[in-house]
């Protein structure tokens, strides 16, 4: 007898055999919050000295070409933020090749409103595909 239960966004697979033994496996895959898609970095296996680029390659919906350009859900990623702040300008490749993956806690993917729309308060309908990397508290 096999049951699949959904508790929040963590999927729990419970296998019960006739002799009443149960085995459970927990895996947090992703969590959509509004228009933001979040990935928990600890759910993916990485090597000790891997860079962020190696972690991003393991996420579903993320592609990185040979030049290091990042594509998320078919759109080119224009900005890479670290804890919500811009560190790498308009080239996310620099950040993905220099940040260590073992310091990452959560990866968020969303469309950011343009800087002009933020400044003027008028929506100009320009959206920029953005990846926000939240670091672990001990790695900040």
Reported pTM:
0.76
For residue range 67-86, list pLDDT tens digits in order. Answer: 999 999 999 999 999 999 99
Q: Does domain 34-139 have CATH number 3.40.50.620?
A: no
The percent of the chain in helix, strand and coil, each rounded to the nearest 5, is 20, 45, 35
Query: Domain-by-domain residue ranges, the chain?
Result: 1-29, 34-139
| Statement: residue 49 has pLDDT above 50 | yes
The per-residue pLDDT for 30 is 62
Q: How far is CA 72 from CA 2, 61, 83, 84, in A?
A: 34, 6, 19, 18
The per-residue pLDDT for 90 is 86
CA angle at 74 for the pair 72 and 75, rounded to the nearest 5° = 70
Coil, strand or helix at 87: coil
Partners of 2 in beta bridges = 15
Q: Is the dihedral of CA 42, 68, 126, 135 positive or negative?
A: positive
Judge contact between 113 and 127, C-beta under 8 A.
yes
């Amino acid at each position: 007898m096999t049951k699949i239960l959904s508790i929040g966004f963590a999927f729990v697979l419970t296998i019960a055999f006739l002799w009443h033994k149960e085995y459970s496996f927990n895996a947090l895959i992703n969590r959509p919050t509004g228009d933001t898609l979040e990935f928990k970095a600890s759910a993916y296996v990485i090597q000790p000295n891997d860079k962020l680029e190696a972690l991003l390659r393991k996420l579903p919906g993320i592609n990185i070409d040979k030049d290091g350009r990042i594509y998320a859900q078919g759109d080119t990623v224009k900005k890479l933020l670290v804890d919500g702040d811009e560190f790498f300008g308009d080239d996310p490749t620099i950040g993905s090749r220099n940040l260590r993956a073992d310091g990452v806690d959560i990866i968020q993917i969303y469309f950011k409103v343009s800087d002009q729309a933020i400044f003027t308060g008028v929506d100009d309908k320009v959206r920029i595909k953005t990846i926000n990397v939240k670091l672990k508290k001990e790695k900040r």
